[in-house]
C-alpha cells in the first residue's frame, strides 16, 4: 500500500495533466473543456488507485482480486461520455477530436494512478502537441484546397441539388452548406437567396468552364470564390 503523500501526488498530477489538455479544448470552444478533462483524468486515477489498493486483504487468498478488472471499465465508460461531445449536422460531424481527447485523458489518468508517471506525462505532452502544433501542419497541407463558393440565386426547388451535381462532376467535395435568405421579401417578386458552399477542391482543379456551368443553372445570378475559409463560414 502506498502512503498518503503518494496518493495525493498522483491525484494532483492527474488533475494538472487533464487541465493542460482541457485548457486547449476550452480555447477552441469545445463542448468539453477544462473542467470535463480534469474530472475525467482525476476520476480515472482514483479508479486505478481503488482497483490497485482499495481491495487489499479481500478476495481469494486476501490478494484483493484482479487490479485491472475495475480499471478496464474506464475505457468503455468514457466512450459514452465522448459520444456526447459528437454533433452531426447533415454531412458535417464535429466533436470527434474532443471525444478522442477525453478518451486519451482517461488513459493518462489510469497511467498516473498506476504510478507510470513517464507514460502519463509523455502522453500529455504529445497530446498537447497534436492538438496545437499539428494544426499549423494541417493548415499548411490543405492550403489553397479549401474555399467558399458563394452563389446568388433565385430560390426554387432542387436548386442546391443542381449545383451540387456540378460540384460532384468536378470532383469538388462539399463539407457544409449555408443558406442566407433575404429578410424582406417583396410580394410578387422572386425571392433571392445566397448559398455558401464550404468545399474542398481537388489538387489539380482549374476553373475552366466550371463557372459557366454554375451560371447556366436555372435561377443562378452570380457565383464567386472567397479565398481562405477562416471563420467567415461559421459566423
Which of residues 97, 118, 141 is at a domain's end?
A: 141
pTM exceeds 0.85: no
One domain for residues 53 and 150: no
The residue that leads in pLDDT, 121 or 71, is 121
Which of residues 88, 111, 141 is at a domain's end?
A: 141
pLDDT digits (tens, 9 = 90+) for 176-203: 888 887 554 444 456 788 888 888 887 7
pLDDT digits (tens, 9 = 90+) for 88-130: 554 455 677 888 889 999 999 999 999 999 999 999 999 999 8
| Grid cell of 31 as nine digits | 463542448
One domain for residues 103 and 172: no
pLDDT score at 156? 86
Query: Which residue shows C-alpha cell 464535429?
Result: 94
pLDDT score at 190? 66
Alpha-carbon gap, residue 51 to 10, rounded angstroms: 14
Q: How many domains does the chain have?
A: 2
Q: Which domain holds residue 186?
A: 146-225
Q: Cβ neighbours of residue 63 under 8 Å, at least 6 residues apart? A: none
The enclosing domain of 154 has a CATH number of 3.30.70.260
Q: Cβ neighbours of residue 106 under 8 Å, at least 6 residues apart? A: 40, 41, 44, 74, 75, 78
One domain for residues 162 and 131: no
Amino acid at each position: 500500500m502506498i502512503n498518503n503523500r503518494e496518493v495525493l501526488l498522483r491525484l494532483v498530477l492527474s488533475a494538472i495533466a487533464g487541465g493542460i489538455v482541457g485548457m486547449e479544448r476550452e480555447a477552441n470552444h469545445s463542448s468539453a473543456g477544462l473542467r470535463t478533462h480534469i474530472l475525467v483524468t482525476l476520476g480515472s486515477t482514483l479508479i486505478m488507485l481503488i482497483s490497485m489498493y482499495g481491495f487489499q486483504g479481500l478476495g481469494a487468498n486476501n490478494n484483493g482480486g484482479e487490479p485491472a478488472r475495475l480499471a478496464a471499465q474506464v475505457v468503455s465508460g468514457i466512450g459514452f461520455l465522448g459520444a456526447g461531445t459528437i454533433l452531426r449536422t447533415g454531412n458535417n460531424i464535429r466533436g470527434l477530436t474532443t471525444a478522442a481527447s477525453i478518451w486519451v485523458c482517461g488513459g493518462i489518468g489510469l497511467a498516473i494512478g498506476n504510478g507510470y508517471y513517464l507514460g502519463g506525462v509523455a502522453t500529455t505532452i504529445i497530446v498537447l502537441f497534436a492538438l496545437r502544433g499539428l494544426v499549423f501542419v494541417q493548415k499548411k497541407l490543405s492550403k489553397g484546397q479549401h474555399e467558399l463558393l458563394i452563389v446568388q440565386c433565385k430560390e426554387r426547388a432542387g436548386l442546391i441539388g443542381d449545383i451540387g451535381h456540378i460540384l460532384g462532376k468536378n470532383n469538388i467535395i462539399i463539407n457544409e452548406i449555408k443558406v442566407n435568405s433575404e429578410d424582406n421579401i417583396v410580394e410578387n417578386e422572386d425571392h433571392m437567396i445566397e448559398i455558401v458552399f464550404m468545399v474542398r477542391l481537388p489538387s489539380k482543379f482549374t476553373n475552366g468552364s466550371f463557372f459557366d456551368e454554375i451560371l447556366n443553372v436555372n435561377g443562378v445570378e452570380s457565383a464567386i470564390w472567397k479565398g481562405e475559409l477562416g471563420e467567415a463560414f461559421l459566423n
